[in-house]
Amino acid sequence: MTRIHLSKADVSVLEETLVLEALRSGWVAPLGPMVDRFEAEVAQRVGVEHALALSSGTAALHLALLHHGAGPGTVVVLPSMTFAATANAVLYTGAEPVFVDSRLDDANLDVELTLEAVDELAAQGREVSCVLSVDLFGRSADYQALMPALAQRGIPLVEDAAEALGATHHGKGAGSFGTAAALSFNGNKIMTTSGGGMLLSNDGDLIDRARYLSTQARQPAPWYEHTEMGFNYRLSNILAAIGVGQLSRLDEMIARRRAHRQQYADALGALPGVRFLGRGDGLSDSEDNCWLTCMVLAPDSPVSANDVIAGLEAADIEARHLWKPMHMQPLYAKSRMFAGGVSESLFASGITLPSGSALTSADIDHVIDVTSTLIQQ
């Protein structure tokens, strides 16, 4: 059996056809009809007015944070359990990241701790430029609780929905919360452009300013005129063509990942000391795009997450730990953290299982067989 990857890109003949169409159009540049079409279709899918196709989700976060005044002397509050890109975008601006802990049930940010952090920082005279939420592993954070509480305090929200395209929260699409949101189209995401991202917002001025900054802040002059620093952040027309094709297949790919999770839960969920992140205690997969399926072992489990991941690797199956919390990373070891025990525990006991939409039911059965043996040995 060939190696089973965690989340390999699922590309079809449709994307090949659209890339060829883009190449033959002559628009081999970071603008063109495929970029315009991709932006319009993503905005419609998510339910926002404007979208800006960029070279990465990190670029989208950077531009969103700049819009909210993140910079030296300010603070951005964000969850510790996330990929480094979320926190690195804060460093790009010169602002100070302040981390908060996760919920135990789905690993998303703890709203109560987030508000505690905002209030304490404000009481200390710190300027909180915004809260940066993360929709972890394909599930939205609790925006019903977070958004009104931040609005009451006058704190803007930026949503990192890099992992959550296609997910919803009380009927609204992931990427539609806050004043701006970021999507990622990296190769391992629910859909890909091989690399790329998107900035989303209902604020046309925000998108206009970000579009200007993303093209090296070029002034409208007949020559190259620049009055401030910009960035080279645009997505190419060729890569946008892949995105157009992938977006048309998004629901099909979500359905495949959803079926994988159900297959895992049916087979492994009954094992003692095993639970699935985001399931149980009133939570289901109904609004989750099921990007990655994560299993959590009980603290008293006789086998560790390290053991299971190593055993899967020995069987040529790629599995990983949950995100290592940022406050445990050497780069952010001196950053302020509100609580921390939950994300540390989830990191120690969580396992991300192969979830790609191109995997077959037989592939998942093989992962289940190996995992089950490792847990029960």
Please report whether residue 2 resides in a domain.
no
CATH label of the domain that carries residue 72: 3.40.640.10
**Residue 36 maps to a domain:** yes
- Beta-carbon contacts of residue 103 (< 8 Å; ≥ 6 apart): 109, 110, 142, 342
Residue 1 lies in a domain: no
The last residue of one of the domains, among 229, 246, 263, is: 246
Domain boundary among 246, 262, 278: 246
The CA distance from 89 to 59, in Å, is 8
Indicate whether 144 and 165 sit together in one domain: yes
Same domain, 194 and 55: yes
- 100 and 233 assigned to the same domain: yes
Residues 6 or more apart whose CB falls under 8 angstroms from that of 125 comprise none
Asked whether residue 207 falls in the same domain as residue 325, the answer is no
Burial of 324 from C-beta contacts in 10 A (0-12 / 13-18 / 19+)? middle
CATH of the domain at 363: 3.90.1150.10
- Among 172, 189, 324, 334, the one annotated catalytic: 189
Q: Can you tell me the distance from the alpha carbon of 289 to that of 164, in angstroms, rounded to the nearest whole number?
A: 6
In whole angstroms, what is the distance from residue 168 CA to residue 184 CA? Answer: 16
Kindly state whether residue 4 falls inside one of the protein's structural domains.
no
Q: What is the three-class DSSP state of 134?
A: strand
Shared domain check, 232 and 119: yes
5 falls within a domain: no
C-alpha gyration radius of the chain: 21
Per-residue pLDDT, 277: 96
Same domain for 138 and 113: yes
Same domain, 333 and 362: yes
Please give the Cα distance from 240 to 217 (Å, whole number): 22
* pLDDT tens, the chain, 377 aa long: 799 999 999 999 999 999 999 999 999 988 899 999 999 999 999 999 999 999 999 999 999 999 999 999 999 999 999 999 999 999 999 999 999 999 999 999 999 999 999 999 999 999 999 999 999 999 999 999 999 999 999 999 999 999 999 999 999 999 999 999 999 999 999 999 999 999 999 999 999 999 999 999 999 999 999 999 999 999 999 999 999 999 999 999 999 999 999 999 999 999 999 999 999 888 899 999 999 999 999 999 989 999 999 999 999 999 999 999 999 999 999 999 999 999 999 999 999 999 999 999 999 999 999 999 999 87
**Together in a domain, 115 and 78:** yes
Closest to 200 (Cα-Cα) out of 185, 179, 215? 179
CB within 8 A of 362, min separation 6: which ones?
Answer: none
DSSP string, 336-351: EEE--HHHHHHHHHEE
Q: Give DSSP secondary structure letters for 165-221.
A: TT-EETTEETT-SSSEEEEE--TTSSS-SSS-EEEEES-HHHHHHHHHHHBTTB-SS
190, 63 contact by CB (below 8 A): no
Annotated catalytic, 189?
yes
- Residue 355 in any domain: the answer is yes
Domain edge (last residue) among 219, 246, 273: 246
Number of domains in the chain: 2
In terms of domains, do 123 and 187 share one? yes
Say if residue 242 is in the same domain as residue 282.
no
* 298 and 225 share one domain: no
How many whole angstroms separate alpha carbon 175 and alpha carbon 161? 5
39 lies in the same domain as 119: yes
Per the structure, the complete domain to which residue 64 belongs is given by 13-246
**Distance between CA atoms of residues 282 and 344, nearest Å:** 24
Identify whether 6 is part of a domain: no
